[in-house]
Amino acid sequence: MIQKISPCYTKPLPKWQTYQFKNDNSSSNTEEKTAVVSKNDTQNSYFPLSFKSREAYNITRSLMQLDDIHCPFCGVKMHSLEKTKKLVKQAESIQDKDEFINWLELNKENIPKEYLKFIDSAKNNAILSTTTDVNSLLLNMKDGACVASSKAIEKMKEKMLEIQKNNNLSDSDNVLIDECYIRLNDYDVFSGTNILYDLTLILRETIGILENTKVNGEIYAQAKELLIPASFYQNIFLPEPKSYFAKTYQGNVISKLFENTENQVCKVLKTPQKDNDPKLNLILCCKDCEQKASETNVVLRSFTKTDDLRKNIVKYIEDLSKQVLDNKLQADSAYIIDFANFLDRISEINININKEKSKIINAIRIKAFKDEHEKVTFEPVNREGIPCATCGQTTITHEQRLKIFNEIAKASTYSDLLNIIRKNRYFVSNRFQSAVRLFEKLVEENPQITEKQLINEFKKQLADEIKQQLQDNITLAEMTKNRMSFPEDTVLLQKYIDGVKSKFLNFSEKSMFPYQEYTNLLKDSVYKMNDTHYKYYYGTMFKETIRKKYNKQANIFPNKETIEKLNSYLKVYIQNLFKGTVATVDHLIPKGKNGENDLSNYVVMCRNCNTEKTDYPLLRWLDIHPEMPKNVQKYMNKIVSMINNNELGPEYRKYPKIFSKKIAQLSHGKVDPKYKLKPLKNDSGEIKPKKH
């Protein structure tokens, strides 16, 4: 029986597709090591790190376009820039003051709470005013805002004199405070200038240079409490245009009124944890809350004193869920569930979203399941033995994967597992063949070896591969550092060598390689080189070689839930050897780039390559995978063989022609697969004439 162990769990780690630098062990000459991409060396089981920034960008763009989402911090209803334009256009068309007030009431949810007094002021001025036009109403409100600012300045002056009186200040500090008092006293709040800018300048040139920093802080604190709210409100009525789409003073005031509830996307963690998905680290909030949280590392910490925080966040998640269900949020259907789990994990407050009882969340789960299992009508993906058009790996069907996984789950001895691997060895990519050989060797030499010992040996093998690759990188850098055109580049290359030797060659095999720290070293050394050729060459080589090894290492650190499901760490790792070879349908022109569900746009790729490709255009994908032209031809040969042997329906006879034409066009001729179909024959065995 496979022995149970208590593994050291880690969270799932991302993956990527990278270049591999082939090591020719038969040669002792280090210079003969050449940079190539292994056609089968792309299998893995986790997410593509190198593409996460693109996913985060897509999420940001989608969030910014949403309307009527409640801010997770203050609860105000947010809106996009496009809606601001619509609101301004509506407001500019209203001429009657009573109609204008009714319009404000209808849109009050989109007005910041501190600006709701704008509506009350409009109502009071409407009662007192004898005119009916909106512009006169706004000018009266402007005068009232100026009077309020003037009162705030008077209170500020009183507080400042009180602080001066209660402190024994130097002569120079007393002079500065007196100067500030005089300048505040002379300031004209009705001048029509930006009061916040003016007052800030006055304080900076006087109070800001006090010798007594304690008094400096007290006065600034009073200024923030008294002057900022009044000046913010008064600046709504400034005559200068705030936005290019406001054509009148009336529209200008409205654009400022709704500005602070416009959508803003900020990071939940300013310094994301290395195992967090960047797209989950983004949260939509109003512009006002984004400004308040700008100086903190964790956004949620800025709002922990808000009593309704949990309620606001739950409302925010429900709003986004509705957008997902209505297909307005262009994201993975499971995104919002993953985001809720992410907040639960990293926040200092107990969000405690009851996802099981929420009808909306349950609907999201159903949609995510349907989207995940939605099948494009492309028959080759359900046929065995189709090579991946990117990496050339022979794929397996979904049914084959389930069968292999079930066999692994039912295995009760090492012998059972070895038989499963040997029987399906062709479906294990080259990069994992070393793990298979190690498993065979360890079990044959010691049939009593425990599962924990096996896992530790796998971890050691994967860590040794990373260390060997680091050593290879150092060797190459040592050989070429004296060839640099710029002396500074030699110093930077030596900094990389020293950093690797001191920090990374001896990392513990019991944990994941500290990849983020390694990339920071690259940024501080190789990425600062002056010679752009060497900068790109070494930057790509030293990063991508290690990233591929790091990604491979991720398979030996699966998540806790998966291990508990199989009750075996080893079985999960064995499953991961096959997981990425499942056949999937990829779109030559990505769906995110308006790619159509059309036969000419379909191609079979293994699960890993499809996941990594995301919405990359074909030319960029070819830069990453220069082996693709050869593998597309291999793929085409298999498809044509199946068509000639009548293994695919007659509708697929046109596929080689339309697919070849499209991929050649998209690749600018870099990929141009050839094919030769057998001529069609009629029932009597005669060749059918071609249609012209």
Give CA–CA dist 203/199, Å, rounded.
Answer: 6
| Token pair of 278 as six digits | 């960047």
Residue 204 · residue 216 · CB < 8 Å: no
Nearest to 468 by CA among 507, 517, 439, 440: 507
- Burial class for 349, CB neighbours closer than 10 Å (0-12, 13-18, 19+): middle
Q: Whose structure tokens read 């009662």?
A: 127
What pLDDT is stored for residue 235 in this prediction?
82
The amino acid that residue 673 corresponds to is P
- Burial class for 265, CB neighbours closer than 10 Å (0-12, 13-18, 19+): middle
pTM for the full predicted model: 0.49
Give Cα 213 to chain centroid, integer Å.
Answer: 42
What is residue 17's three-state secondary structure? Answer: coil
What pLDDT is stored for residue 51 in this prediction?
42
Cα torsion angle, 64, 68, 69, 72, sign? positive
What pLDDT is stored for residue 360 in this prediction?
63
Residue 580 · residue 555 · CB < 8 Å: no
Other Cβ atoms less than 10 A from the Cβ of 644: the count is 14
Give CA–CA dist 404/417, Å, rounded.
Answer: 10
Q: Whose structure tokens read 């910490």?
A: 301
Boundaries of every domain in the chain: 20-42+397-574, 81-259, 263-373, 582-666
- H-helix segments, 614-666: 618-624, 628-644, 655-666
| Token pair of 609 as six digits | 């390559």
Give CA–CA dist 264/287, Å, rounded.
Answer: 5
First to last CA, the chain: 67
Give CA–CA dist 34/19, Å, rounded.
Answer: 11
> Which residues, in sequence order, are bridge partners of residue 584?
605
| Token pair of 651 as six digits | 């509708």
What is residue 470's three-state secondary structure? Answer: helix
pLDDT along the chain (692 residues), means of 10: 36 30 36 33 35 66 88 89 90 88 88 82 81 84 88 90 89 90 89 84 89 88 84 80 78 87 85 67 86 65 65 84 76 71 68 53 60 67 92 90 91 91 86 88 90 92 94 90 84 92 90 89 90 82 82 83 85 88 89 78 87 77 88 96 91 94 94 90 58 50
CA distances from 428 to 80, 395, 401, 435 (A): 48, 10, 12, 10
* Burial track 370-406 (b if 16+ CB lie within 10 A, e otherwise): eeeeeeeebebbebeebbbbbbbbbbbbeebbeebbe
Give CA–CA dist 233/70, Å, rounded.
Answer: 22
H or E segment to which residue 576 belongs: helix 569-579
**How many Å is the Cα radius of gyration of the chain?**
33
Give CA–CA dist 283/592, Å, rounded.
Answer: 22
Give CA–CA dist 512/323, Å, rounded.
Answer: 37
Give CA–CA dist 285/67, Å, rounded.
Answer: 12
